[in-house]
Amino acid sequence: MAFELTVNGRRHRVDADPDTPLLWIIRDQIGLTGTKFSCGIGQCGACTVHLDGKPVRSCSLKAGLAAGKQITTIEGISKDGTHPIQEAWKAFDAPQCGYCQSGMIMASLALLKQNPRPNDADIDAAVTNACRCGTYHRIRKAIHRAAELMRA
């Protein structure tokens, strides 16, 4: 069955079962592989994208339910990696293996859009993604830096 999805401002006609998780449509059909698969059960957040600005775990969302909404992936936040949150991430050299980082950035960005001055407790509550490499210390610093950059 065909349906339409809007990803990073572009409309895509997708020919797939609308019950397919959004993650696999984004990765396989639309070809944006920055969004990652890890647990497939909504536990880790590696697959986080924005749906109308809100963070969702795309492995656990049927693609059909995203029709008519604005989907944003890591590839959509800037063309050249210069979004303030990406600059902040680079400033602290936050990623290790990097596999969780697209999801981390998307979860953190959703927080910053809704709360431009998050404190540590706000970050703990909103950014619940898993990073097996344990990059949390740098991510926290990077979120605070990104908040500053985004307010400026």
Residues that bind ligand FES (CB under 6 A): 37-40, 42-47, 57, 59, 95-101, 131-133, 135
Q: Quick one: what does residue 55 bind among other proteins, ligand FES, none, with the CB cut-off 5 to 8 Å set by partner type?
A: none
Residue in the structure block whose two tokens are 């809100």: 54
**What's the closest the beta carbon of residue 117 comes to ligand FES, in angstroms?**
25
Rounded to an integer, what distance in angstroms lies between the CA atom of residue 58 and that of residue 63?
A: 8
115 binds other proteins (CB under 8 A): no
What's the token pair of residue 94?
Answer: 């936050």
Contact 75, 83 (CB under 8 A): no
Q: Does 71 bind other proteins (CB under 8 A)?
A: no
Number of other CB atoms surrounding residue 87 within 10 Å: 15
Distance of alpha carbon 121 from alpha carbon 118, whole angstroms = 8
Query: Is 127 a binder of other proteins (CB under 8 A)?
Result: yes
Burial of 4 (0-12, 13-18, 19+ CB in 10 A): exposed
At its nearest, how many Å lie between other proteins and the CB of residue 133? 5
If the CB atoms of residues 36 and 83 are measured against ligand FES, the closer one turns out to be 36
Quote the least distance from Cβ 96 to ligand FES, whole Å: 4
Contact between 98 and 32 (Cβ < 8 Å): no
In this structure, are residues 77 and 14 in contact, taking their beta carbons and an 8 Å threshold?
A: no
Both tokens of 38, joined, read 């890890």
The verdict on 43 binding other proteins (CB under 8 A) reads yes
Q: Is 140 in the site for other proteins (CB under 8 A)?
A: yes
Site residues (vs other proteins, CB under 8 A) = 16-17, 20-21, 24, 27-29, 31-41, 43-44, 46, 73-75, 78, 81, 86, 89-90, 93-102, 105, 120, 123-125, 127-140
